[in-house]
A = this chain, B = another copy of it.
Amino acid sequence: MRPNRIRELWAAGKPALNCWITLPGTLAAEMLAHQGWDSLTVDLQHGGSDFASMCAMFAAISTTDTVPLMRVAWNTPGEVMRALDAGAYGVICPNIESVEECQRFVGACRYPPDGYRSYGPKRGLLYGGKDYVHHANQTLLAIIQIETLQGLQRVDEIAQVEGLDMLYVGPSDLGLALGREARQNQTDPVVMQAVDKILGAAKKAGLKAGMHCTSAEYAQTMIAKGFDFVTVISDENLLALGAAERAKLG
């Protein structure tokens, strides 16, 4: 089975640099994949893609070595399994608040006996290779987001769930949950304390930690802080740079 380049980077002690895809479309996905990102994450929670566009975008991304990841809208097994069948090499699940929810998610990512994923990885076989079924459980990444008060409180026990690979921090929801602002690249001490808590819980449990950023500068700080996976920027952020260009012309 094709190895997961993110795991390879981690094995080599390097962080993975991710770009976030909010906008559906194969041409944009293929252009982004050619820019050297370690991974691209198609967002089906807050982004505009759906299952059909994601499948075509995964094919477009797979013309390069960039690893295709995705975020599900919610912790629903059918959606998780369909993304993996379509060739996702990792899934991010938002809003996990308990061990039980985490197990439900991780189980959907793993074939028996490790989980309850159903067999039929159509694009998975094309992208991963014919021995997919034998290595998928060890290759694909199961990633969750801790972003609520409940989740924060139970982060240590949640992090113990067998088969979980990474805790991913979404600073906007974390900010809202803590009664602060819903924003990226947070510096608010209340939010940053929670970020540290999640990072610490991940490390303590032997997991990787990921952070959603919107600039290289901030991402650099987060890598320095110990994060193993950083979203550096999103397609949406990049489009917004157009406004700056326009503004220069008055």
Given the interface pairs A59-B30, A118-B173, A122-B27, the reply to whether A246 lies near B50 with Cβ below 8 Å is no
Complex Cα spacing A175 to B113, Å = 11
Question: When each residue 204-236 of chain A gets 1 if its CB lies under 8 Å from chain B and 0 otherwise, what string results?
Answer: 000000000001110110010000001011011
Roughly how many angstroms separate A63 CA and B123 CA in the complex, as a whole number?
A: 11
Interface-centre pick from A62, A86, A182 (highest chain B CB count, 10 A): A182
Give every chain B residue within 8 A of A10 (Cβ-Cβ).
Answer: none
Count of chain A residues with Cβ under 8 Å from any Cβ of B? 88
Copies in the complex: 6
Contact between A176 and B119 (Cβ–Cβ < 8 Å)? yes
In the bound complex, how far is the Cα of B113 from the Cα of A173, in angstroms?
Answer: 11
Partner of A23, one of B27, B119, B173, B182: B27
**Among listed A74-82, A152-160, A185-193, A194-202, interface-contacting one:** A74-82
The residue on B at minimum CB distance from A63 is: B62
Q: What are 23 A-B contacts defined by CB distance under 8 Å?
A: A23-B23, A25-B28, A28-B28, A31-B122, A31-B236, A31-B240, A34-B126, A35-B242, A35-B243, A36-B243, A36-B246, A45-B81, A46-B121, A48-B52, A48-B55, A59-B60, A59-B63, A76-B76, A112-B176, A119-B175, A219-B249, A238-B241, A239-B239
